[in-house]
Amino acid sequence: MKIKVSVPATSANIGSGFDALGLAVTLYNTVTFEESDHLDISAADGTRIPRGETNLVYRSAKGLFDKVGKTMPPLKLVQTNAIPMARGLGSSSACIIAGLLGANRMLGDVLNTQELLTLATSIEGHPDNVAPALLGGLASSVFEDGVVYSVKRDVDESLCFAAIVPDYKLLTEAARAALPKEVTHKDAVYNLSRAALIPAAFCEGRHDLLAIATEDKLHQPYRMPLMPGSKEVFDMARLCGAKAVYVSGAGSTVMAVAEKANAEKFYSKLEKGLELLEGLDGCEAFTLLRLDADNTGATVE
């Protein structure tokens, strides 16, 4: 039996919702699972991935088998990796969710969604990417005492997204190391008040709130110095008509949000603007990904 799992990319933090909010977008990693007589891991698209037991899809699948006390058979895994790695679009979370869903289906769907989400979070460390990857839409999540509390809402389908991906990586470890160990009470309130507006801005058609809802003082000011050209990209996206601009996940991708009614004009202006920025401040090139929200989440066939 062959099992195919498809998992969307995710854009976490959304400016003000540091480590608590994330949304899924229409860019996918896929993995096929088959039993084999030996471990066989490959990439259908030629992406360089670990081919042994350190592979994150494999490790996540084995973690589920271990949790339920079963021995995992040798597997043939074939991955297609459309989500750029180390760019703030949830590539690690996609691998974790793929491994868990593939293993769960092999075992007859022994874990429910809540159990899968809790196990995924224990592997990833925080739920802001794994929750929307599994559930789709906009997910608000808390990980407390080994339990994940998550609420999913569908993102307004009249919005579109532009992921502006630079040619350099930003590892999560480096992005986290740049953050201060303490923040002021004033900055905490600043973010909390804006994060409370995110569901209305993204899910209830309150596009007038998008810009203010995605403002942040907890992580973006500290990470953007590690992202050459990011300030210029922010400014360019706003000039092109973006309703909101924020650092996706830990970076290095910048995400811009616009209205679909103006999508073609927005994307066209953005492409031309990014050409002017190439070679600026250590970034040789940007890739523009035209995306929509994914309100379905991961699927298993």
Q: Show binding-site residues.
A: 84-94
Task: Report the run of H or E that residue 239 belongs to, with start and end.
Answer: helix 230-239
Q: Which two tokens stand for residue 127?
A: 């739920």
- Exposure string over 210-233, b if 16+ CB within 10 A, otherwise e: bbebbbbbbbbeebbebbbbbebb
Cα 60 to Cα 145: distance, rounded to the nearest angstrom: 21
d(CA 99, CA 111): 13
For residues 252 and 166, is the Cβ–Cβ distance under 8 A? Answer: yes
CA 157 to chain centre: 18
Distance CA 202, CA 16 (A): 13
Q: What is the rounded distance in angstroms from the CA atom of residue 142 to the CA atom of residue 19? A: 9
Residue ranges for the known binding site for ATP are 84-94
Distance of alpha carbon 191 from its chain centroid, rounded?
20
Query: Please, how many CA atoms are within 13 Å of residue 218, restricted to the half-sphere of its CB?
Result: 23
